[in-house]
């Protein structure tokens, strides 16, 4: 979704208005308005790397893209770009499908009506009629769409402004009851009076263009406002100009080797486990003697352990022996199915313990990833120190590369624990675990070296060789692990169990 951070900028989607306005300065405050086309390496079906091109687009370039498609469609269909935009929106901005369906249709008017439009070559608009407006009931010059439901300028402006501001509509139907004919962009831009409303309307048009287009998505980073355009809609890594690295398919942080659907399950699991833990903390205690789980299902604080080999009586509040309370005989007001609930609680706890084994390691690498971003500052200081000794900027870039590799390894390790949590155990999973362990060890060694052991040695050759040896080995282990995950998943050697631990006893 586009952010609203640049609320003073005015985005004119209409090509005519763009040409008449100083939009180069007010649409986007990026210095570089030229789209970048980076490449990224992804696993193909065979596990090898594949170069996939994509474009990072700022808002000016998005408008150019929208107008380009509209104008190309207009030249083929013979309708103005304003009508073509509404048609393209109906066909999710798939120009080829729209054109194919249009020329397959024997009746162009019927075709346009399916998109809530009318053919301007077959319908004439009433212009300049003086009559009573059906909204305000004042006599005035009336205007309308090709459906010829006429209203005054003031009522049209108020109606359209309300649809834009209150309902967030970019494609707005006629205000006449039961009329669904859309107001084309040209009509709306003429009817709207305030600059703020024009800005909001054009922003909604741009949002609609991105949100229905399978090949264009907004960068999910806060306050970015850029979009990415891809040639194909597969899951792939996107490196935005703002620095955020994400998955095009699900818009989450890049999560290889975990598939998007598994990551979605993990996020749901994390939310569910928080609630489970809250319930366990609020409703259960360990028996102070045998550590069996006890559920408090009544108001009485006099508890008796139901473990047949224990039977310890204690106070729920302080967990001390009940004999110390000298409070006489108490009744616990137990429900008859208390034993079943305790068994369920034990099952939930075992499930949670298994989950937290992986979750704790996931969050550990996540936290390390956040902390190790600070290494860029330390490395920058080391680079400045080396430059003062006469080394060039290029000669010292191996340190920056080492931190980048370390961060990628942390991210990979994070998601391998999600991968491992859902991985069904078999004879081949030991290989995955060994590869994961090797990468973890190598990553920790690189991290420790960069944080604590980076020598003050002025011999750049020695320092460079040590650092390069370490980060090259770590990256090699990372690629081995990722390739193993990709190939194992593709060949079905690795199978995910989405109902992990549900049937634990």
Q: Report the pLDDT value the prediction gives residue 278, as an integer from 0 to 100.
A: 61
Hey, what are 188's tokens?
């709306």
Hey, what are 281's tokens?
């903390």
Hey, CA dihedral for 296, 297, 300, 306, is it positive or negative? Answer: negative
Give residue-wise pLDDT tens across range 438-473: 999 999 888 888 887 666 655 677 888 888 999 999
> pTM to 2 decimals?
0.69
C-alpha distance from residue 71 to each of 27, 78, 79, 81, 387 (Å) = 21, 10, 10, 6, 53
Q: Report the pLDDT value the prediction gives residue 196, as an integer from 0 to 100.
A: 87
Q: Report the pLDDT value the prediction gives residue 499, as an integer from 0 to 100.
A: 62
CA–CA gap between residue 261 and residue 289 (Å, rounded): 44
Give residue-wise pLDDT tens across range 199-211: 888 889 899 899 8
Q: Report the pLDDT value the prediction gives residue 328, as an integer from 0 to 100.
A: 47
Side-chain-facing half-sphere of 465: CA atoms under 13 Å:
6
Side-chain-facing half-sphere of 360: CA atoms under 13 Å:
6
485-493 contact pairs (CB < 8 A, 24+): 485/256, 485/257, 485/416, 485/419, 485/432, 486/43, 486/47, 486/257, 487/47, 488/428, 488/432, 489/257, 489/259, 490/45, 490/46, 490/47, 493/426, 493/428
Residue intervals in the chain for CATH 1.20.120.1750: 345-490
Query: pLDDT of the chain along its 505 residues, tens only?
Result: 444 444 334 344 444 333 333 333 322 333 232 233 343 333 333 333 344 588 999 989 999 999 999 999 999 998 889 899 999 999 988 899 999 999 988 888 888 888 888 888 787 777 778 888 888 888 888 888 898 888 998 899 999 999 998 888 888 899 988 899 998 888 888 888 888 888 888 889 899 899 888 889 999 998 898 999 998 877 688 999 998 999 998 999 999 999 999 999 898 888 876 666 666 666 677 788 877 777 766 556 778 888 777 888 887 767 777 777 655 444 433 333 444 444 555 555 566 677 888 888 898 888 888 888 788 877 887 777 777 777 788 888 888 899 999 999 999 999 999 999 999 888 888 899 999 999 999 998 888 888 876 666 556 778 888 889 999 999 999 999 999 999 998 888 898 887 654 444 3
> Which of 60, 11, 53, 9 has the alpha carbon at shortest distance from 34?
60
Q: Report the pLDDT value the prediction gives residue 3, as an integer from 0 to 100.
A: 45
C-alpha distance from residue 134 to each of 155, 158, 467 (Å) = 9, 14, 77
Any idea which residues carry the catalytic annotation? 300
Say how many residues make up the chain: 505
CATH fit for domain 345-490, picks 1.10.1040.10, 1.20.120.1750, 3.40.50.720, 1.10.150.80:
1.20.120.1750
Is the preceding peptide bond at 257 cis, omega within 30 degrees of 0? yes
């Amino acid at each position: 979704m586009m952010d609203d951070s640049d609320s003073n900028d005015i985005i004119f989607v209409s090509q005519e208005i763009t040409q008449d306005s100083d939009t180069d300065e007010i649409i986007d405050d990026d210095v570089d308005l030229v789209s970048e086309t980076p490449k990224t390496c992804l696993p193909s079906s065979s596990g090898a790397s594949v170069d996939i091109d994509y474009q990072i687009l700022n808002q000016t370039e998005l408008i150019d893209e929208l107008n380009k498609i509209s104008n190309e469609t207009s030249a083929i269909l013979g309708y103005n770009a304003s009508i073509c935009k509404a048609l393209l929106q109906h066909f999710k901005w798939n120009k080829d499908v729209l054109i194919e369906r249009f020329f397959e249709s024997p009746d162009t008017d019927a075709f346009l009506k399916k998109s809530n439009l009318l053919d301007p070559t077959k319908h004439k608009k009433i212009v300049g009629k003086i009559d009573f407006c059906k909204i305000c009931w004042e006599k005035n010059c009336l205007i309308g769409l090709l459906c010829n439901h006429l209203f005054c300028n003031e009522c049209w402006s108020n109606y359209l402004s309300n649809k834009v501001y209150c309902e967030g509509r970019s494609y707005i139907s006629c205000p006449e009851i039961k009329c669904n004919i859309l107001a084309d962009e040209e009509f709306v831009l003429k009817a709207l009076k305030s600059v703020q409303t024009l800005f909001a309307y054009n922003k909604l048009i741009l949002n609609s263009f991105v949100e229905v287009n399978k090949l264009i998505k907004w960068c999910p980073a806060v306050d970015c406002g850029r979009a990415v355009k891809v040639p194909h809609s597969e899951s792939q890594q996107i490196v935005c100009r703002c620095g955020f690295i994400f998955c095009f398919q699900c818009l989450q942080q890049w999560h290889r080797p975990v598939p998007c659907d598994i990551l979605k399950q993990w996020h749901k699991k994390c939310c569910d486990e928080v609630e489970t833990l809250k319930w366990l903390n609020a409703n259960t205690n360990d028996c102070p003697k045998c550590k069996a789980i006890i559920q408090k299902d009544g108001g009485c604080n006099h508890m008796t352990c139901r473990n047949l080999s224990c039977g310890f009586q204690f106070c729920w509040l302080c967990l001390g022996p009940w004999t110390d309370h000298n409070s006489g005989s108490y009744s616990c007001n137990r429900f008859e199915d208390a034993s079943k609930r305790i068994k369920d609680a034990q099952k939930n706890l075992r499930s949670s313990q298994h989950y937290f084994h992986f979750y704790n390691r996931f969050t550990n690498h996540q936290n390390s990833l956040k902390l190790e971003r600070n290494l860029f500052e330390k490395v920058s200081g080391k680079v400045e120190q080396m430059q003062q000794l006469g080394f060039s900027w290029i000669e010292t870039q191996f340190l920056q590369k080492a931190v980048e590799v370390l961060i990628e390894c942390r991210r990979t390790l994070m998601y391998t624990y999600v991968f491992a949590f859902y991985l069904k155990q078999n004879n081949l999973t030991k290989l995955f675990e060994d590869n994961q362990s090797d990468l973890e060890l190598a990553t920790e060694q690189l991290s420790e070296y960069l944080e604590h052991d980076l020598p003050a040695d002025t011999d750049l050759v020695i320092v460079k060789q040590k650092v390069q040896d370490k980060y090259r080995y770590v990256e090699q282990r990372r690629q081995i692990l990722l390739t193993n995950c990709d190939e194992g998943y593709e060949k079905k050697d690795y199978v995910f169990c989405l109902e992990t631990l549900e049937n634990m006893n």
